[in-house]
Homo-oligomer: A and B are copies of this chain.
């Protein structure tokens, strides 16, 4: 595996899940793979779960880890050719990225959507440049449009908790006070559509995601209807994708908050969220604290999804 960005990159999902469960049982069994290998984690944005879980996964595999926090203000990269670089950008990406590749064997990149330019975000300009110029296998630690380590961890969690072969999984939009990227719902949808699950997305009108990620999902604007019979409820806020509202908050409807009343419509569903979550906006205290909440197991599985991805990259070197 040279790149981990989309669900297709992981290949057969059944094989990936089997490997995840094997890794989870014995997470220190593969240290020969990582000996004298170095992971470079590049963060253009801050991180708690991704930072800790990915570092842990790499150390489980016996790797050395270097973490590079790129302060967006302090280190701006020029991306165009022909520019006289007499402004605030002190280095060109055509030098910076190959240099980073010199000192490691594997690169993880976090670079969020900036919401300045939809095309720039959805073309994944930063991540693609790492793929093209670093000379190393590269994996997404949440990019402008995807967060596949989260989606893979969510899938592992559903497989561990499902009680029927083809559960009903509902991803529902929920209100939030800040404009959030679409990376998590894009990837969750992309991964769910690749399973055989009954997958439904509920969101207000105008809040539909990019169809490249939702192809195969049932999309509805009626949250209550969607929740009926659900086995898993995955709550998430995202800002608008559709023009002319890209990156904007166009809906603050608090009736979409996932509450006990809403959960009562389901088939005693598990509650899921990628975290961090704003309580009593996205979900009420009682739902997230209930025994059916999987938010901590999901987070714990981030170590496992990262370890499978890094293990595969090491194996294919």
Contact = CB atoms under 8 A, between A and B. Distances in A.
A82 interface: yes
B279 A177 contact: no
Interface of A: 28, 36, 38, 40, 46, 48-49, 51-53, 55-56, 59-60, 64, 66, 68, 74-75, 78, 81-87, 90-92, 94-96, 98-100, 102-104, 177, 275-281, 285, 288-289, 295-296, 299-300, 302-303
**Residue among A87, A278, A281 having the largest count of chain B Cβ atoms under 10 Å:** A278
B74 A46 contact: yes
B278 A102 contact: no
A49 B75 CA distance: 13
Contact of A279 (B64, B92, B280, B303): B92
A276 B96 contact: yes
Contact of A296 (B36, B84, B95): B95
15 contacts: A38-B59, A48-B91, A51-B68, A53-B102, A53-B103, A81-B285, A84-B280, A91-B276, A92-B277, A95-B275, A95-B288, A96-B276, A99-B275, A102-B299, A102-B303
